[in-house]
Amino acid sequence: MFGNLFEEDYSSVSNSQYGKGKKLKTKGLEPPAPRELTNLSGIRNQGGTCYLNSLLQTLHFTPEFREALFSLGPEELGSLEDKDKPDAKVRVIPLQLQRLFAQLLLLDQEAASTTDLTDSFGWTSDEEMRQHDVQELNRILFSALETSLVGTSGHDLINRLYHGTIVNQIVCKECKNISERQEDFLDLTVAVKNVSGLEDALWNMYVEEEVFDYENLYHCGTCDRLVKAAKSELDDMEYMYDLFSVIIHKGGCYGGHYHVYIKDVDHLGNWQCQEEISDTDMNLKALQNEEEADDPVVILKTILLQEEANQIPVDQLGQKLLKKTGVSWNKQYRRQHGPLRKFLQLHPHVFLLSIDESTVSLLRNHLTQAPSDLLRNPEQILHIPTSETAGLNDNTSCPHWFDINDSKVQPIKEKDITQQFQGKESAYMLFYRKAKLLRPPEARANPRYRVPYHLLKEMDAANIQLQMQRAECDSANNNFELHLHLGPHYHFFNGALHPTVSQTDSVWDLTFDKRKTLGDLRQAIFQLLELWEGDMVLSIAKRVPAGLHVYHTLDGDELTLCEAEIADGEDIFVWNGVEVGGVQIQTGSDCEPVLLHILHLEMSGDSSKCEQLVESAHVFPANAEVGSVFTALAIPVGVILMNSVESADEEYWTAIPKEDMKTTLREQGLRNGSLILVQDSESDNSLLPKQGRWTNSVNELNWLQVKNFCQLESEEKQVQIAVTMHTVVFDIRIKAIKELKLMKELAENSCLRPIDRNGKLLCPVPDTSTLEEAEVKMGSSLGLCLGKAPTSSQLFLFFALGTDIYPGTEMEVIVEETLSVRDCLKIMLEKSGQQGEMWHLRKMDWCYEAGEPLCEEDATLKELMICSGDTLLLTEGRLPPPGFLKVPIWWYQPARLSGHCESQDYSTCASSQSSSWGAAPTQGVPGPEPTEVSLLYLGDVEISEEATLVELKSQAMALPFVSKLAVRSTALLRVWTVESKRPSRLLRPDWQQLKEYRLGQRAELCLELLQKEENLGPQDVLLRTRLRIPGERAYTLAMDLVWDTTRGWTASSLRQRVADFYSLPVEKVEIAKYFPEKFEWLPISSWNQQVAKRKKKKNQDTLQGGPYYLKDGDTIGIKNLLFDDDDDFSTIRDDIGKENQKQLALGKKKSREALRVQSSSDVFSNAGMSTQPRGPEASLSIRVASFR
């Protein structure tokens, strides 16, 4: 039964199963989904709270616990509205637990949220993402409830319901004296290894007789000597218990997933297994072959009896009928019985319509009559064998079991439960109720039983609000925008339809429900066009470069818009189906108008009467013969040359043979934007001499190089294609395939991609674009690659894992531009083989660094201005809610190194420092970190941008490491921003809001502990000063110096402040600023500031500008010229640092060259093999206020 519970398995277990396999929604304002067939509500997983969800569902399905909690009113617990009042005594945890139970019972949503409850526990996002042991949670939660309920009538709730006593009885074999010892317990722990079941485990642990004899004698108090004795067995017939909850753990002892099997004691859920649902649907379809199929009342009643609460929206009733019977209402019954809604109105004795006629339900008398009349012969009507168990309307007295897995609730048969206890899925915690506990009849299938009135009122109002939100959302999600082109406002001109009036008058926008039929659409258009006369035909039209073209007519008024394959934003042409403006219109894709660019000779309009080459646009039907081009140009006969056919030698154009003049333009591969050259055969002025060069003013013809990247063998690796800026990309691609002698099938599954100077393949170029539109430069290189180019509504994106990325190591994906960031993230995770929900997307900037995160997860890529060719980074970590910052906090300890230590033994000194304070983790190859900077990671703080700096300090002080230091006040903490793994900008003052610091989503902060409080003014600058040790290349310990810059940022002012601080003569002081990233010192002198005296002194004499850029936290080296008059400020560590930087630069250069050679598949081939080290275990706690 228990399986191998303690064997670890990391390959198949994730910390959260929530949402797995479900399609993420793209609209952030959608209300929560309603309850499913079981009519029970799950609980959403916050990231790692499956153990909490399993325990809460168990307590919720324990009637005695639930009703005892509901019995405590606001007069005892207080009100959640008063929880923030200083003097109010509000017991938040039991109130939130009451509210959660009411939501699970009454709120019509698929899954409830535990966010408010865990907030009342005092949990942060870290605790919600971390998994714990469910038994530990059970004990801590019970303890928290006991503390919260002190002084109320429920003070003994836990003790009354869950308290037990273990009685150890030892019977003396000599005097028969019985010695008893009692132990209290809330739960029993049993060893399950090497036992066949729970009964054996309990027997071994608590019942089996233990004999004291021989060397293990018992000291009897009555006999006052060592005697033989034995534990007695208790008669437990009085204490019979029924199992009603089994919490299941899947995985090993360091991680996994929890779900729970629960017996529905009060019959709150609808129980029906999947195979029975399928059988019912099949049986309903079988009605079509029965006599009852002639009576739609019988079928509609049967459908409604299977629905939750026996009601359904009228719009969905027709869909259910089609789905379950295979035939629509319009096709089967409309001719005889009329529209569905009218039919329901004509049978008020059976069906009850709501006030707005949007939903329909069965009258109560038909619910009770169902077994006797509708289902009097279930074997004949529904074809259900009599041996089958009841389904949704099961009236048996035996409660059923449900498998509750976070948000998902499914029925499960009792016989199937034991089959689950195998392998890595094992029973971990069992809950029992006394067998003699009976439930009152009024509690059966009544979720409102014993729920307090104020919670009933709150849930009813919430359900009404949910219904309104779903109705609005349903309307928004099912509405299509259609563009109606009115035939009388169009005329046929130049091969296509064009409006005769303004665009506003000729095109009407119509919002229409996609679930309605074409007949409904036609009727709606009739009502809009009151003056329409004659037949009305609706046809699909599309805009093409030549104008508007009609494709096919919409037939079948009984079809819905979805069934007719009408898309959102579709163009509908409204006409009589024959002619427009007196011209008969050809329809269909065969005669689609094609816009061609034709080069030909014409006489110039000036007095010279010479011929010149001109380009003109002409429109032809796609099925027109090639020879029709001569007719359009009024040329009796001539030569047509095109560059979309195989070329020979150096000729750019190939003539179409005379025998092909009868073929169509489409058969010749001519498409919108194709360029052809037409020459009169009688003309002596040849435009194409043997060399293939233009002889007239057209000099824009040039070459493109196309390389074969299709991984297919070819005689040629690359070819040169002759093009102009008007050449269509499709023509170039087809010609390249032919000249590379590749398979013709590639024409349907290939694309052209520009190649940059580093050899990287860029975003594919659309087939329909010209080179000018695609901004492809002449002489550049294109790669012929497998796969279709993205359409106009799609984006071609690069993406990569992590933040340390080099060019050429990315993966690729094509997505719709209307896709949300959340759905795009899911697709990229699947393609990269990653799992889990702890990821977010960042956009890579131009220097291949991670930019700002894409915080609006419900926004579309188009709304965030993501373009084809952009690179997105998959970054670990969950984004904070909007308006919040998730800030990593570091602990900064300034160096405590003596200069002598540094000069004598640099390596020893550095190692001792790193052992005292952990250095910041680095990505990639670590650089030469200065030993004076030591950062220790403390954790993350999630805080509102509206919070002040002092509130951030207070929240950071709650982190475990800082709390151990017992910092007395926030004034003893400095806060710095962290850049390049070192403190950068000092944040002040404390009362300023975080948003005013403009930290950004990538901000990291570090804390520095002060010995005494400080209050820096707006003009004060904090500098780290270090006095150089004479005769040695080393410095003393750093000391903080506050410099008042009210009188200016001048070198003389700073030197005077340093001299005063160290009690030195100002003329004997030399100072320099240290640049740690370069390991260089730059002396500061008045001479540096007076180089350009011609400029204004106000702008020049400031240390804020170049070359110093002085700011808070900078290190200032100080020399006492009385003892040290050399010019050198550097140290031995600086020499080592510069040498390390030089070696690092060489290593990075070699690494980049190697990465360019490797393919992205090589880079990520072993990505799935990496395993993350397991973090340290954290204790679980629930913070409760004192109510004693």
Q: Coil, strand, or helix at residue 916?
A: helix
For residue 556, give the amino acid letter.
G
Where residue 705 falls among pLDDT bands split at 50, 70, 90? Answer: confident
The mean per-residue pLDDT over the stretch 225-241 comes to 74
User: Would you state the structure tokens that stand for residue 123, as one six-digit string?
Assistant: 């949990």
Contacts of 586 (CB under 8 A, 6+ apart): 621
Contact predicate 316/358, CB 8 Å: no
Buried b (16+ CB within 10 A) or exposed e, 199-234: eebeeeeeeeeeebeeeeebebeeeeeebebbbeee
The answer to whether residue 1 scores a pLDDT higher than 80 is no
- Weakest-pLDDT range from 25-39, 267-281, 535-549, 554-568: 267-281
CA–CA gap between residue 368 and residue 375 (Å, rounded): 11
The answer to whether residue 427 scores a pLDDT higher than 50 is yes
Q: Coil, strand, or helix at residue 936?
A: strand
Tens-digit pLDDT profile for residues 1068-1125: 899 999 988 888 999 987 644 443 334 344 444 678 877 888 888 899 999 988 888 7
Is the N-terminal amide bond of 1107 cis, ω within 30° of 0? yes
Tens-digit pLDDT profile for residues 854-912: 888 888 998 888 888 888 988 887 777 777 888 889 988 776 433 333 333 333 333 33
Tens-digit pLDDT profile for residues 321-332: 877 777 778 777
CA–CA gap between residue 84 and residue 605 (Å, rounded): 87
CA–CA gap between residue 767 and residue 788 (Å, rounded): 9
- Weakest-pLDDT range from 95-104, 641-650, 738-747: 641-650
The mean per-residue pLDDT over the stretch 940-949 comes to 88
Q: Strands 583-584 and 547-553, how do they pair?
A: unpaired
pLDDT of residue 312: 84
pLDDT of residue 383: 33
State the maximum Cα–Cα separation within the chain, in Å, rounded to a whole number: 144
pLDDT above 70 as % of the chain: 78
The answer to whether residue 187 scores a pLDDT higher than 80 is yes
pLDDT of residue 1161: 39
pLDDT of residue 320: 80
The mean per-residue pLDDT over the stretch 158-178 comes to 88
pLDDT of residue 95: 96
pLDDT of residue 27: 45
The mean per-residue pLDDT over the stretch 955-960 comes to 88
Give the CA distances from residue 924 to residues 930, 962, 1002, in Å, rounded to whole numbers and listed in that order.
17, 29, 19
- Weakest-pLDDT range from 62-71, 125-134, 525-534, 683-692: 683-692
The answer to whether residue 227 scores a pLDDT higher than 70 is yes
Radius of gyration of the chain (CA): 41
Q: Coil, strand, or helix at residue 427?
A: strand
Output the CA angle 1133-1137-1140, nearest 5 degrees.
140
What are the DSSP E strand ranges found in 568-622?
571-575, 579-580, 583-584, 593-603, 611-621
The answer to whether residue 1146 scores a pLDDT higher than 70 is yes
The mean per-residue pLDDT over the stretch 392-417 comes to 79
User: Would you state the structure tokens that stand for residue 646, as one six-digit string?
Assistant: 């195989």
pLDDT of residue 107: 95
Average confidence score pLDDT of the chain: 78
Q: Which of 60, 132, 249, 257 is catalytic?
A: 257
Q: Strands 654-655 and 241-252, how do they pair?
A: unpaired
CA–CA gap between residue 161 and residue 158 (Å, rounded): 5
pLDDT of residue 397: 64
Whether 50 is catalytic: yes
The answer to whether residue 372 scores a pLDDT higher than 70 is no
- How many Cβ atoms sit within 10 Å of the Cβ of residue 166? 12
End-to-end CA separation in angstroms for the chain: 45
The answer to whether residue 239 scores a pLDDT higher than 90 is no
pLDDT of residue 1160: 38
Contacts of 211 (CB under 8 A, 6+ apart): 228, 229, 230
pLDDT of residue 923: 31
Higher pLDDT, 504 or 490: 490
Residue 754 φ/ψ, nearest 5 degrees? -60, 150
pLDDT of residue 387: 30
